[in-house]
Chain A
């Protein structure tokens, strides 16, 4: 079984593993991580089409682009990731960095971050105690409310960016979070007088642990 890469070359299992391993090694080197570390990967199915669909973004004068599907996995075995992709997406072209424009469907594979020991992450309950009134606290409140989280859940932020538009007293804030090593979600904190603070954009995705599934 083969997967074509974006340049049209055929990408076999070994080439895929080499690519993923290089990315893991780079990440490991930068963040000084151990060899047994596991990583969250995202797989985005991207579609370039001349027809506009709900949620699509104009790419150029002719084409629209849409992220049709996203899956998130956890593993430190690139070969398991390869098998998972083939099983769920077939033989679509794959890219690991800038998606090259090709009409039709393609896949983008990204390393989100390393798995973090949940013992080092405070629970939502603890966050409320230690965090002062700021964007982060609002995000936690909104995530808890909108995703119906438990007080014992643990939110591990991948990144948080305070955008340049005030939302009430605070600021619009975008980011991504991993909740209790089970759910991954991007978010965008916004504010209006009616809704007050709310997460305008969340897309909770269940994390698939490839080392626990067959």
Chain B
């Protein structure tokens, strides 16, 4: 025989065998349906409030990131790489900058500059845009190697060299370069 503890009296009570266990204190089916509907509505509204709150938090984070960068962003069509503007220009850059990166052969430099531009999704890469009188310049800089690949609107690379942190800071401060927001795949909320 099941026993229940009556807390105030601490007396052990015996329940009659025929007694039903009530559902949230409701016995009739009609009332149960009403209660279920209420419960569903309550859960839905809670889910809605949670979703709205999450959206608001995300929006606040996004706004903070944008505000931090202090810039207004437009949608940017990032050009597909289409090699260098010219071979002499490539060889000039190779001869002038190969030592900065420790390259011996031209194909190594060409490949590194190309991959630096193409692998924009890498966590170490940052994208920038420069509005030059000759048109938009699309820039990718690697935080570790400090290699910068510069490409014009038709996808032609016209420069690849090293930009150190102080120089980068100047370019951003002088608003020569605009940093594009890089939203990490996972934003820590806490």
Pair A174/B91 contact, Cβ less than 8 Å: no
A101 lies within 8 A of B150 (CB)? no
Kindly identify, within residues 56 to 86 of chain A, every residue whose CB is under 8 Å from any CB belonging to chain B: 57-61, 65, 67, 70
Q: When the two chains form their complex, are residues A58 and B106 in contact, meaning their CB atoms are under 8 A apart?
A: yes
Residues 126-166 of A, flagged 1 when their CB comes within 8 A of B and 0 if not, give 00000000000000000000000000000001111101100
Taken together as a complex, chains A and B put the C-alpha atoms of A46 and B185 apart, in Å, by 45
Interface-facing stretch out of A1-9, A12-20, A25-33: A25-33
A174 proximity list for chain B (CB < 8 A): 89, 92-93, 96, 159
Within the assembled complex, what's the spacing in Å between the Cα atoms of A27 and B156?
11
Contact, CB under 8 Å: A101 / B92:
no
When each residue 68-87 of chain B gets 1 if its CB lies under 8 Å from chain A and 0 otherwise, what string results?
00000000000100110111
CA distance A30 to B87 in the complex (A): 22
Bound Cα distance from A58 to B164, whole angstroms: 27
Query: When the two chains form their complex, are residues A164 and B158 in contact, meaning their CB atoms are under 8 A apart?
Result: no
Name the prevailing secondary structure of the B interface residues: mixed
Q: How far is the CA of A84 from the CA of B47 in the complex (A)?
A: 72
Q: How far is the CA of A126 from the CA of B167 in the complex (A)?
A: 31
Across the interface, which residues of A come within 8 angstroms of B110, CB to CB? 98
What is the bound-complex CA distance between A111 and B153, given in angstroms? Answer: 13
The reply to whether the CB of B126 lies closer than 8 angstroms to some CB of chain A is no
Give the contacting residue for A26; candidates B93, B107, B152, B154; CB below 8 A. B154
Q: How large is the interface on B (under 10, 10 to 19, 20 to 34, 35 or more residues)?
A: 35 or more
Assembly CA distance A47 to B137 (angstroms): 31
Q: Which of A177-214 contact B (CB under 8 A)?
A: 186, 188, 201, 203
Which among A59, A60, A99, A161 has the highest number of chain B CB atoms within 10 Å?
A161
What are the residues of chain B within 8 A of A158 when measuring CB–CB?
85, 134
Hey, which chain A residues are within 8 Å of B104, CB to CB? 58
**In the bound complex, do residue B132 and residue A159 qualify as a contact, i.e. CB atoms below 8 Å apart?**
yes
Q: A26-B154, A99-B87 are in contact. Are A163 and B161 (CB under 8 A)?
A: yes
Asked whether any CB of chain A lies closer than 8 Å to the CB of B88, the reply is: yes
User: Please, how many angstroms separate the alpha-carbon atoms of A172 and B83 in the complex?
Assistant: 23
Query: Which chain B residue lies CB-closest to A55?
Result: B91
Is B129 part of the binding interface, using a Cβ–Cβ cutoff of 8 Å?
no
Q: Is A115 an interface residue (CB 8 A)?
A: no
Interface pair A159/B88, CB less than 8 Å apart:
no
CA distance A157 to B132 in the complex (A): 11
9 cross-chain pairs, A with B, having the tightest CB-CB distances, nearest first = A161-B159, A97-B83, A98-B83, A44-B87, A159-B134, A57-B91, A159-B158, A67-B88, A30-B153
Q: List 8 A-B contacts (CB under 8 A).
A: A27-B154, A42-B86, A60-B107, A110-B156, A160-B132, A160-B134, A186-B92, A203-B88
Which positions in A face B, CB cutoff 8 Å?
A: 26-27, 30-31, 42, 44, 46, 57-61, 65, 67, 70, 97-99, 101, 108, 110-112, 157-161, 163-164, 174, 176, 186, 188, 201, 203
Query: Which B residues are closer than 8 A to A by beta carbons?
Result: 79, 82-83, 85-89, 91-96, 104-107, 110, 132-135, 150, 152-154, 156, 158-159, 161-164, 167
New contact pairs (19) apart from A58-B104, A61-B105, CB-CB < 8 Å: A30-B153, A67-B87, A67-B91, A70-B88, A97-B83, A101-B107, A110-B85, A112-B85, A157-B133, A158-B85, A158-B134, A159-B85, A163-B96, A163-B161, A164-B163, A164-B164, A174-B89, A176-B89, A186-B86
